[in-house]
Amino acid sequence: MNEIQGKRGENETKGRRGRACVVVLGDLGRSPRMQYHALSLARQASLEVDIVAYGGSQPHIAVLSQPSIHIHIMPLWLVILEGLPKMLRPIMLLLKPLIQFFMLLWFLCIKIPSPDVFIVQNPPSVPTLVAVKWASSLRRSAFIIDWHNFGYTLLGLSLGRSSRFVSVYLWFEKRYGKMADGSLCVTKAMQHELAQNWGIRATVLYDQPPEFFRPASLEEKHELFFRLDKNLCEPLGVRDCVHNGHLGMQNHELNETLLTSQVGSDIFLKPNRPALVVSSTSWTPDEDFGLLLEAAVMYDRRVAAILNEDDSTNEEFLWKEISQGKQYLYPRLLFIITGKGPEKEKYEEKIRRLHLKRVAFRTMWLSAEDYPLLLGSADLGVCLHTSSSGLDLPMKVVDMFGCGLPVCAVSYSCIKELVKVEKNGLLFSSSSELADELLPPGGKLEDHSSIRRSPPSPTSLMQYPIYLKSQPKAPEPPHNAMINDGQIHHSFYTCSSRVFQMDVMR
């Protein structure tokens, strides 16, 4: 400990530049954890923060409006290479990291001011870790890796674990991962894997939602549904229970939406509104969206069986009764699926072929400001994330908890670090189990005895304890004391400065 304090003092005498660089070789708007790192460094550590990333989706307004955060967008020069024939794919796999490597070096070594520390998201690992390590050596900066997952496992989803490219990728990831001055990771399971099989000591820093993830008020729900009304009422197929059930119901004199009505200054939720179920997805192979479709079909059939309806029951008659205000024991389900990704069109086509009486689907991409409002307005969240490594946690669930939203999540090796069964959510391993969880005893999702709304997460920001910033010394907890059972942390919560310094200065 004395040695660490000595190194810190030596650094302070040399003078601090008071600057950090956050590196994301991906769409910044779709990298919330790194946005939150940048916010914490800027707000609480009072550092100037440079973010080097690709563009695409809009970051949150809190990031864009922070004067001490400077965003540097790298050009997407590789779009041309994506159109190469399949036989030339090996050439693309070689060219792509080379071009990215030199582009990263240009930005990290020339375009931005010299930082005290580089904090890089992993994955992707190649060429990111190599480029950031070189840049940190050239600029005499600290090199910190934030391990979200393992890059080689993601590459293995498309190429297969036996591919030579995957073996080479793993070699680079492990070799340069060991060169970091400090490491953060997202689960205890990943911390153990890094320590036992990679020789890397990492500090667990659980994700924690920022202050804008919270339950929505009735007024906010009404305004959101009014903005989204056109999207909510347009079916993916020809028609469905939401589209037909809403026809003829809109009354703009009453300021009415699919789920809410306003009369004068009073806003209320419609008693026969559909239950709103939200799932956020990147539409990738590590999220089996087919599970959700199968569960939706099972829900539709099981409700019909409970209500003694046979196949001859006219869906048009059912929808007409709904539009006239009739309430049924079990509600219609409206699934809103948010996100972008490669398999979106494939599953949208499958949804169009479904013929369901009480279930409807909508896919959309929301702004960074509307997404938290949607979570805060929903009745249930569903997470299909399974993890390519089995060692990371889905941040979408953390956001849902911040909004007080109960969650049904796919069960895998380390998900219980986040989802506490019968406390803040439920786990499922099959479409049948998910369908069971969509059928609560009382007929309403909020009546489900096993799913209680988790309390909103605290909204205050933490003092980001990075060793670059001189701060009042906090009481020293035992190693990893920031990992409390049931408490979900991110860089907005206090992490022991002693532990962080030991990792960075080792």
pLDDT at 272: 83
- The residue that leads in pLDDT, 264 or 394, is 394
Rounded to an integer, the average pLDDT of 4-32 is 68
How far apart are alpha carbons 188 and 174 in whole angstroms? 18
- The residue that leads in pLDDT, 463 or 100, is 100
How far apart are alpha carbons 286 and 383 in whole angstroms? 11
- The residue that leads in pLDDT, 211 or 310, is 211
Strand, helix or coil at 140? coil
Confidence of residue 57 (pLDDT cuts 50, 70, 90): confident
Residue 175 scores a pLDDT above 60: yes
Confidence of residue 461 (pLDDT cuts 50, 70, 90): very low
Task: Set out the domains of the chain in order of their start, with CATH numbers.
Answer: 19-204 (3.40.50.2000), 218-438 (3.40.50.2000)
- The residue that leads in pLDDT, 4 or 16, is 16
Rounded to an integer, the average pLDDT of 428-457 is 66
Rounded to an integer, the average pLDDT of 395-412 is 91
391 burial type by CB count under 10 A (0-12 exposed, 13-18 middle, 19+ buried): buried
Residue 282 scores a pLDDT above 90: no
pLDDT in tens, 67-80: 999 999 998 765 55
Residue 364 scores a pLDDT above 60: yes
Residue 204 scores a pLDDT above 70: yes
How far apart are alpha carbons 349 and 237 in whole angstroms? 9
State pTM to two decimals. 0.76
Q: Which amino acid is at 255?
A: N
Q: What is the mean pLDDT of the chain?
A: 79
Confidence of residue 480 (pLDDT cuts 50, 70, 90): very low
Q: Which two tokens stand for residue 270?
A: 């419609």
90 burial type by CB count under 10 A (0-12 exposed, 13-18 middle, 19+ buried): exposed
pLDDT at 167: 93
Residue 162 scores a pLDDT above 60: yes
DSSP calls for 267-298: EEE-TTPPEEEEEE----TTB-HHHHHHHHHH
How far apart are alpha carbons 262 and 65 in whole angstroms? 33
Strand, helix or coil at 219? helix
How far apart are alpha carbons 199 and 354 in whole angstroms? 50
Strand, helix or coil at 220? helix
pLDDT in tens, 79-133: 555 555 666 666 776 778 888 899 999 999 999 999 999 999 999 999 999 999 9
